[in-house]
Amino acid sequence: VTTDRYAERRLRTLEAAEAAGLAGILVSPGPDLAYLTAYTPPPLERLTLLVLSAEADPTLVVPTLERPLAESATGAPDLTVREWRDGRDDPYAIVAGLLGPGRYAVADRTWASHLLALERAAVDRVFVAAGEAVPLLRAVKDADEIERLRAVANAADAAFADVIELRFAGRAETEIAAELDRLLREHGHQRVDFTIVGSGPNGASGHHEPGERRIQPGDAVVMDFGGMRDDYCSDITRTVFVGEPSDEEREVYAIVRAAQQAAFEAVRPGAAAQDVDRAARAVITEAGYGERFVHRTGHGIGLEVHEPPYIVEGNETPLEAGMTFSDEPGIYLQGRFGVRIEDQVAVTAQGAERLNEASRELTVVA
Ligand code: ZN
Ligand code: ZN
Ligand code: ZN
């Protein structure tokens, strides 16, 4: 990713902000700052803030001791850096001095303490959440981002292919979770963010924390796992069966798989995000399990594992080529078992492609 690309992203961001009636956007450490500058300091109590406004050159306000780090960020050699020193300068007054009149979007992950201090320093400005005002800033991925998402998705696929060779019966959920953690790293993840393993009745709880429950023959096991490689996130779910599944489990699995496929086939440029949710939900509702599909069909993925666009009823955002999000319907039968199947997909010029390639066939493990 070249320096030019970061400058272009900053320009596009400012244009989007202006189109949304904003005077600019304020970006604290986090995925938006990484996207716009390649600078990734930890969020701390000392203020670091990128100020993009029509009034001034793009300016990065940083604590003096972090100035060398900020100036070495690969995406930002051309940025103006304004330092502030402990005990001498008021960083919020410095930011206020860079702002003209009007409304400014503030990155969603900005600490409340920073925003409240900024509101006191700039009483006549209005601040709004960037996630509401300009939600799609990072939603359309370029070719390089899609390749990174595919690479990390395929690394998660490889972890799945390995884990189903292991013995499940008699082992604790936490042991399978630890195996997934190891396998994700083995296949190139630099960070593992979650390894959900929900066996039997625990599979009916969507974000179940793996516990000491021993996996039994006859269990359905929902595994939802992912992490990060080269800054981009993976997130995949597969449900496997320990020994031969019952007729009911087979039926529920087939319905979820058909719903996941229907959602995939609904993805194309110009379709609304909610159309994809409706396509999955129609299949599950017609099969009589509509009340048991208790979550949205998907979420965008990129530098964050959950980001816009959200694939949910009420979201009329038109899909565009380059958007990437999950397709993950599920059916949850409380006290008994759950089934979810999740792939990441990318919108293409004509339709969609899956970034995950792991098998969706019904899989029986030992
Ligand atoms: Zn989730
Ligand atoms: Zn997931
Ligand atoms: Zn997901």
For residue 207, report the distance from its CA to the centre of ligand 1, in Å. Answer: 6
pLDDT for residue 280 is more than 70: yes
pTM score above 0.85? yes
pLDDT over threshold 90, residue 4: no
Q: Which ligand lies nearest to the CA atom of residue 239 in the structure?
A: 2
Q: Which ligand is nearest to the CA of 327?
A: 3
Compute the distance from residue 318 Cα to the ligand 2 centre, in Å: 23
Going by their DSSP bridges, the two strands 337-340 and 330-333 should be labelled as: antiparallel
Separation of alpha carbons 23 and 300, rounded Å? 27
How far, CA to CA in Å, does 288 sit from each of 8, 125, 222, 266?
49, 52, 21, 21
Compute the distance from residue 91 Cα to the ligand 2 centre, in Å. 39
Do the Cβ atoms of 48 and 66 come closer than 8 Å? yes
Task: Tell me the average pLDDT across 309-314.
Answer: 98
What rounded mean pLDDT belongs to the chain? 96
Q: Tell me: the pLDDT tens digits for 13-44?
A: 999 999 999 999 999 999 999 999 999 998 89
Ligand 3 centroid distance, CA of 44 (Å): 28
Note the pLDDT of residue 88. 96
- Please tell me the distance between residue 236's alpha carbon and the centre of ligand 2 in angstroms: 5
| DSSP 3-state of 192 | strand
Distance 39 CA to ligand 1 centre (A): 27
At 1 the pLDDT is 59
340 CA to centre of ligand 2 in angstroms: 9
